Structure 1
Amino acid sequence: MELNVLQSKPKKLGLYNRHLTIQMNRSLPTAFHSTECRKLLTVGISSVQRPQGSYLLDTLRSLFFASSPSERKYFTVVVHLADPDPNWLDQMISNISTLFQPYIQARQLVVINTPLKSYLPLKNLKKNFNGTPAYVTFHSKQNMDYAFLMNFATNHSDYFLMIEDDVKCAPGFVSQIATILSAWERKAWVTLEFSRLGFTGKLFHARDLPCFVRFLLLFYQEMPCDHLLSHFRDLLMQKKPIQFFPSLFQHMGNYSSSEGQVNSLTDKEFEGNDIGPPSNPVATVHTNLNVTNASVLMNAYSLDKNFFYIKKAKAGSHLTVVLDIPAIVFRVQVLTGSELKGENQLKEGQVELGYDSTNRINDCDDYVLLGLLVNGTLDKQVLSEESGKKVKCVRLLVTATLPSGLIVRHINLWIK
């Protein structure tokens, strides 16, 4: 299948109006769902030619391989090939067509290109931040690259996630972002940040994109995009970044797309796959199930091969791990059902994290949803907008009465 590259035709944006008026639609997002016409998330990538080679194909591999088939139904990737070199463009189109054909056919990957004649002037630009003329030209064009990408993506989804073309994605990043969006559904925000690096991992309401596109194009030669984003956020009354840890995206490679410079930046908050065995700090386990032996109940939290079994578990039942000392938990794993046959799974349940401000002994006074069990398991990184926020309770909640018994093999925690 040959990849059809769409040309992004920018709308008339009133670029030369000296007064910028921003009108925002602050209606709350509805429940998240996937449809063929509009999805939860558009992931945007803008890419240009690098003297030392491209990382784009590796980024796309990481993005799709880090997502399960069910997660891919909720997002579309839009790649803006923004280099004017026709040879590079043809080669990149050929490579993407060959390597990512299933995702193209499923409309999970779209590639666009904006004609150079659509760009604003790139000569006689202002010299800001003591940058060389070449760097000022680079970041000015990059601002327009991003603006055309976002302009195209405006009506494709409820949210837009910007990543750069040289990153590695954490497994399950879509589910983790969806969980955060659910928790922040009724809170006011302009951007949520899932990486500390540059423009990577910045999440927008799709409804805000037209205003930010105008902002980028109006001030395209003033400063780089990450600085412009900071000012845009301030104008819309979000006075500080809302960052979540650990980061979901990591920079890879050593060469920048700017003048071929070396760029070895890494995000120290990114958690890789090799994070060692679970910690399971000292804790007690509490439940409202009819359990007669507390030591058997502790099998659910043990690190050995023992497990916890109960014959009946009604909706509303719970097992709650209460840490003796609250800790920064960065990963939670819950495994239910027999290991060999998968019987006695908790197919309808969820895991919640508890925080405590009133020093309750056997429980917490504030719980937030971490995620739902899928096929009897949950394995998630814990994202917090405050890296120092400590967890006291981890609650496994039964949301529908089980037709048979329940086996909880492991509740595993990783802490910093």
Structure 2
Amino acid sequence: MRSKRVNLLICLIAFVLFTFSCFCISRMTQISNQLTNCRNHMSEFKETMQHLKNRAENSRQELMEAFNQMKNDITNREKVSGSLVEKKVNTTNQNETVSNTLEDLKFFFPHLNKADSIYPDIIIGKGRRDVSFALGISTVDRGNHSYLKQTLTSVVSRMTPAEEKDSVVIVSVADSHGDYLNSVVNMITKKFKRQVKSGSLEVIAIPAFFYPETLHVNQLADDSEKLESWRMKQVLDFCVLMLYAQPKAMYYLQLEDDIIAKQMYFTKIVDFVRNITSNDWFCIEFSVLGFIGKLFRSEDLTDLVRFFLMFYKDKPIDSLLSEIFHLKMCDTRKHPVTCKQRKKQICVRHNPSLFQHVGIHSSLLGKEQYFKDIYY
């Protein structure tokens, strides 16, 4: 009996040990599976992190490449601008001043209201201001013929250093052909380096959107309409140039791109203005031809330009200048002789003329002109 109890106890212990062993094995298997899953997750996590790291590195390299490309683009643009454009960083106030004077254009040309800024493109300029004289030269492409280099040589070389310091010569390229603008800039930067560096010589360009659409259409029409369009555009070219120059100087001298100046012309102009007996003058003529060599007070340019803009479709600019003299100074109730005398008082002529017209090939392609100032 006792032996049976011992055997039963042993069996019970063996069963308990077996059950415990199975439980332990089962738990160890579960733990092992969990550890395996954990290792798999860790491996996947490492792979994900490595993938993210690689993507981050690739993104960093792409950003660096994009940044370097931007730097190169900016450098290249600056190099190109350096060869064609010399804009001053601190010309904001000047731009705002000139923009205000150019606001008149919006009244006459409503299409300019859509433009963010109506301001000529400054191609070469140091922002020179507060000088006595601004000399304006408007130029367009004449095909295979150009007189601009000869004109500028006579104009800038026949100034004294003091006169050059107290003036600014403004060349306005009123031509939509980029090749002509580039040729003008290349010529000026090579031939007139000193004047460009000192700021006594500027180059501006009039954007094509300044002009009303009718001018662009008429240029494709017959000869009579082309001539009419050319005359209208010439008036607008001079108007923009005068408005740009107005805040820069006390006096404005209108020239053209196919003239030559006499020796010491600038000294003679300064002396004549200083010694003029009457202060009632509106214009001083230093040439009897067209719109060449006409000197105005800058403060009078606003009224002058507004008159030109009102009637730019009707007459050439030299005829409009005569009309404004008549309207401003001739009372219909007075005798014509009195009117003529009054006109001489407000439009004073310097004799001899200081500028001669040398261009044969007109800016209107195909047209030749042989005008000469007999008083030169």
TM normalised by structure 2 equals 0.62
TM-fit CA distance, 1:16: 4.0
TM-fit CA distance, 1:116: 0.8
> Paired residue for 2:286, among 187, 191, 194?
194
Q: Can you give the 5+ residue segments of structure 1 that lack an aligned partner in the other structure? A: 18-35, 271-416
1:80 maps to 2:172 = yes
> Paired residue for 2:161, among 58, 69, 72?
69
1:261 maps to 2:353 = no
TM-fit CA distance, 1:49: 0.5
| Distance change in 2, residues 1:48/1:189 (3 Å) | same
Give the conservation status (yes or no) of the 8 Å contact 1:135–1:259.
no
| Distance change in 2, residues 1:70/1:136 (3 Å) | same
Q: Can you give the 5+ residue segments of structure 2 that lack an aligned partner in the other structure? A: 1-81, 88-94, 110-127, 330-341
- The whole-number CA distance in structure 1 between the counterparts of 2:85 and 2:205 is 11
Give the conservation status (yes or no) of the 8 Å contact 1:254–1:263.
yes
Q: Could you list the per-position Cα deviations for residues 338-396 of structure 1 after superposition, in whole angstroms to 9, with x for gaps in the alignment?
A: xxxxxxxxxxxxxxxxxxxxxxxxxxxxxxxxxxxxxxxxxxxxxxxxxxxxxxxxxxx
The percent identity for this pair of structures is 32
Which residue does 1:207 correspond to in 2? 299
Which residue does 2:4 correspond to in 1? none
- The whole-number CA distance in structure 2 between the counterparts of 1:227 and 1:125 is 24
1:250 maps to 2:356 = yes
Alignment of 1:231-242 (within 5 A): 231-237=323-329, 239-240=343-344, 241-242=347-348
Structure having the higher helix fraction is 2
Alignment of 1:278-289 (within 5 A): none
SS at match of 1:147: helix
1:146 maps to 2:227 = no
SS at match of 2:291: coil
1:4 maps to 2:85 = yes
Which residue does 1:338 correspond to in 2? none
1:227 maps to 2:333 = no
> Paired residue for 2:151, among 59, 63, 68?
59
Give the conservation status (yes or no) of the 8 Å contact 2:286–2:354.
yes
TM-fit CA distance, 1:205: 0.3
TM-fit CA distance, 1:125: 9.4
Q: Which moved more, 1:259-268 or 1:5-14?
A: 5-14
TM-fit CA distance, 1:52: 3.5
- The whole-number CA distance in structure 1 between the counterparts of 2:152 and 2:247 is 22
Q: Could you list the per-position Cα deviations for residues 42-83 of structure 1 after superposition, in whole angstroms to 9, with x for gaps in the alignment?
A: 000000000241111110001111122222122110110001
Give the conservation status (yes or no) of the 8 Å contact 2:147–2:258.
yes
Which residue does 1:132 correspond to in 2? 224
> Paired residue for 1:180, among 272, 282, 296?
272
Which residue does 1:43 correspond to in 2? 135
Structure having the higher strand fraction is 1
Give the conservation status (yes or no) of the 8 Å contact 1:52–1:260.
no
Q: Could you list the per-position Cα deviations for residues 200-239 of structure 1 after superposition, in whole angstroms to 9, with x for gaps in the alignment?
A: 0000000011111222222111110001111122233252
> Paired residue for 2:200, among 108, 118, 131?
108
- The whole-number CA distance in structure 1 between the counterparts of 2:326 and 2:176 is 34
Give the conservation status (yes or no) of the 8 Å contact 1:48–1:82.
yes
> Larger radius of gyration, structure 1 or 2?
2
Q: Could you list the per-position Cα deviations for residues 114-145 of structure 1 after superposition, in whole angstroms to 9, with x for gaps in the alignment?
A: 1111112434999xxxx821110001000000
Alignment of 1:303-314 (within 5 A): none
What amino acid sits opposite 1:250 in the alignment?
Q
Which residue does 1:122 correspond to in 2? 214
TM-fit CA distance, 1:254: 1.5
Q: What is the aligned residue count?
A: 248
- The whole-number CA distance in structure 2 between the counterparts of 1:49 and 1:37 is 28
- The whole-number CA distance in structure 2 between the counterparts of 1:226 and 1:155 is 23
SS at match of 1:261: coil
Q: Could you list the per-position Cα deviations for residues 293-325 of structure 1 after superposition, in whole angstroms to 9, with x for gaps in the alignment?
A: xxxxxxxxxxxxxxxxxxxxxxxxxxxxxxxxx
| Distance change in 2, residues 1:92/1:123 (3 Å) | closer
> Paired residue for 1:160, among 252, 257, 273?
252
TM-fit CA distance, 1:172: 1.1
Q: Could you list the per-position Cα deviations for residues 173-214 of structure 1 after superposition, in whole angstroms to 9, with x for gaps in the alignment?
A: 111111111122642011110001111000000001111122
Which residue does 2:185 correspond to in 1? 93
TM normalised by structure 1 equals 0.56
TM-fit CA distance, 1:105: 0.8
Give the conservation status (yes or no) of the 8 Å contact 2:108–2:309.
no
Q: For the aligned residues, what is the CA RMSD? A: 2.4
SS at match of 2:348: coil
